[in-house]
């Protein structure tokens, strides 16, 4: 999955597959997690958020179960 860099101290990059509604997040320590069932609007708001870390903590980490990728 192609990921885009984000300006965050906690997150390095974010990718999204609309077909499977899968959000992929690379943390600053290199760990990668996938979150399944994430609607496109949630991804768009995440990428447009002035503070991606806060949005991730409030809207994604609390709402979806992470699946480690490697």
pLDDT tens digits for range 27-52: 999 999 999 999 999 999 999 999 99
The two tokens of residue 57 are 């903590």
Domain count for the chain, please give it.
Answer: 1
* Residue 42: domain span: 3-68
70: confidence class by pLDDT, cuts 50, 70, 90: low
CA distances from 52 to 2, 27, 61, 65, 67 (A): 18, 12, 12, 18, 20
3-class SS of residue 24: strand
To the question of pTM greater than 0.75 for the whole model, the response is yes
């Amino acid at each position: 999955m192609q990921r885009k860099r984000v300006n965050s101290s906690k997150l390095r990059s974010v990718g999204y597959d609309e077909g499977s509604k899968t959000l992929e997040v690379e943390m600053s320590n290199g760990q990668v997690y996938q979150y399944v069932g994430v609607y496109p609007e949630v991804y768009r708001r995440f990428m447009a958020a002035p503070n991606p870390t806060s949005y991730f903590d409030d809207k994604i980490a609390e709402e979806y179960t992470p699946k480690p990728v490697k």
